[in-house]
A and B are shown apart, each in its own frame.
Chain A
Amino acid sequence: MMGAATMTEPAIDRHTLFEFLLRMGDNTLILGHRLSEWCGHAPALEEDIALANTALDLIGQTQLWFGLAGEVENKGRSADDLAYLRDAYEFRNLLLAERPNGDFGKTLMRQFLFDAWHYLCLQALLGSSDRRIAAIAEKVSKEVAYHLERSRDLVIRLGDGTAESHARMQAGLDDLWPYTGEMFIEEAPDAALAAASVAPEPSSIKAEWHSLVAETLSEATLKKPADGYMHKGGRRGIHTEHLGYVLAELQFLQRAYPGATW
């Protein structure tokens, strides 16, 4: 087991690899939790089920990323420990993932902006020099292809829908746009990750993301906002106030009753 793991480990230090795996898992955990908040509240039964299923996929993917993160860190922390027993400053998710749900349209817009990035990122990770990361990417990219197909379809349908749905989609887009720039910003570990061919440089998927988003927004008759100030910091642990509320709910049980199982 250890022998096999050593063989597939690229030349990169443990801590940098751990940070990268947290980024992936924190994105899927926090967005998965946000989507689960919709359970029982969506405007139609089918959409309620679809949101819950997407949340389930994302939380399942989190287990894969955190499972490997715990193994790489080698301090005996399980996927559950990483999800339930870290504080906000230790989370590495994009700020976009923690944005409040808003209305159904805004949730779908957030999902589309994220899915487009997620899908392209996973495509690049298929070629990761770390075979464990490539294996997870191979598994989850198939699920994410369905997420992207659905969120893109709905952004077009609602954007090019009624005056009301169009206005809501445009408002959601305008609100979320300043949180998209962070996806492509280089942070400290990125150069090392790219040099070891573990993960792509964030900027390398920017052009394709912009083209997919521009094409979709155009079909949706929505206006792409101008690139102004972009919020950042999530991947360094500097979050908006919203993450604390997410964690309060997500982690309550394990904090109040440490080690509780069911």
Chain B
Amino acid sequence: MATMTCPSVEEIWRWLAEVSDPEIPVISVTDLGIVRNVAWKGETLVVTVTPTYSGCPATTVINFDIERALRNRGVESVRIERQLSPAWTTDWISAEGREKLKNYGIAPPVDGTAANGRLLKRVASLSGSSDLSISCPRCGSTETEKISQFGSTPCKASYRCSSCLEPFDYFKCI
């Protein structure tokens, strides 16, 4: 029943890098950038997590998976804290995470393509003449068109490649 010495915060981050996203299992919670902080408060490990989307059903599962992974490593007391601000942005998805998304068949977010509510010139995308250069994760062509703003989950949009004709998911920039 000897109490283990507290593993270092660096070690915890390495363990968290092995916790997969439940929806997109090829990327980890650290690739997604949703783990904002790891700190010991006395004997309790506090992991601060920010949600991707308000209604994302994976949030509860992610918290559960993080807690389970840490307990399996012998951490006895874990507390998950939610942090809303600063709000999660796809900018926090790591370069490695983006590569993994692409290899999995999901086009990674393209910086600067987030909806900004100002709606300037965005109507052009309706005609299919989108000015956003989203490449097809299969053939790499940038001849792609948006089918719908929302794909299989709120964080993704549906696209189609005009070159290889395959439909694909685009991880929306937010």
Contacts and interface: CB of A to CB of B under 8 A. Distances in A.
B158 A46 contact: yes
How many B residues are at the interface, by size bracket? Answer: 20 to 34
Interface string A200-225: 00000000000010000001000000
A153 interface: yes
Given A141-B117, A219-B123, A146 B172 contact: yes
A57 B123 contact: no
Contact of A60 (B55, B119, B149, B150): B55
B85 A135 contact: yes
B148 A145 contact: no
Nearest to A28: B54
A197 interface: no
A131 B174 CA distance: 21
B147 A61 contact: no
B61 interface: no
Interface string B131-152: 0000000000000000111111
Give the secondary structure class of A's interface. Answer: helix
Interface residues of A, number: 38
B166 to A, nearest CB: 16
Contact of A157 (B117, B126, B158): B126
B115 A153 contact: no
Contacts of B69: none
Nearest to A141: B117
Given A49-B148, A59-B55, A138 B86 contact: yes
B55 A139 contact: no
Interface string B109-140: 00000111101001101100000000000000
B54 A53 contact: no
B154 interface: yes
Contacts of A145: 114-117
B87 A46 contact: no
A143 B150 contact: no
A152 B121 CA distance: 12
Interface in B36-53: 51, 53
A58 interface: yes
16 contacts: A49-B148, A49-B152, A50-B148, A53-B153, A56-B53, A57-B54, A58-B55, A61-B54, A134-B85, A135-B87, A141-B117, A145-B115, A145-B116, A149-B117, A149-B149, A153-B122
Interface of B: 51, 53-57, 84-89, 114-117, 119, 122-123, 125-126, 147-154, 158, 172, 174
